[in-house]
């Protein structure tokens, strides 16, 4: 799998485009690691999901073995993955609550 950035998920926000902005603290290496550690959607969807330990990310294939990813709220992650990652200690319930609606920091 190879990560390829999609400009609609990068700052500055592009007028008329939908999509969440990737956090500025994720460099190319971090994105590659997230994709490598991502898990398939257990419900049979096309997406893959990953976590950096706090936030959730989703990736879709847009070409043969090429993927683009973006942050999502935890509510978009299949429940089985949330549960598995909590049990494995990869994410805390407090972060799931904090980033439930969005992956952006909330006051």
Do 73 and 94 touch, CB atoms closer than 8 A? Answer: no
| Three-class DSSP category at 35 | helix
| Residue scoring higher pLDDT (28 or 105) | 28
Distance, CA of 36 to CA of 28 (rounded, Å): 12
- Which run of H or E residues covers position 95? helix 93-98
Q: What's the average model confidence in pLDDT over 19-27?
A: 66
Q: Does position 80 have pLDDT exceeding 80, yes or no?
A: yes
What is the pLDDT at residue 29? 84
What is the pLDDT at residue 67? 87
Q: What's the average model confidence in pLDDT over 64-85?
A: 92
DSSP class of residue 55 equals S
Look at the block and give the residue holding tokens 């893959």: 48
| Three-class DSSP category at 69 | strand
| Residue scoring higher pLDDT (49 or 19) | 49
């Amino acid at each position: 799998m190879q990560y390829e950035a999609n400009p609609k998920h990068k700052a500055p926000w592009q007028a008329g485009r939908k999509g969440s902005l990737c956090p500025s603290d994720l460099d190319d290496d971090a994105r590659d690691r997230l994709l490598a550690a991502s898990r398939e959607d257990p419900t049979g969807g096309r997406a893959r999901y990953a976590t950096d330990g706090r936030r959730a990310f989703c990736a879709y294939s847009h070409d043969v073995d090429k993927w683009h990813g973006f942050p999502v709220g935890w509510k978009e992650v299949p429940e089985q993955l949330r549960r598995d990652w909590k049990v494995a200690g990869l994410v805390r319930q407090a972060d799931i609550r904090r980033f439930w609606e969005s992956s952006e920091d909330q006051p």
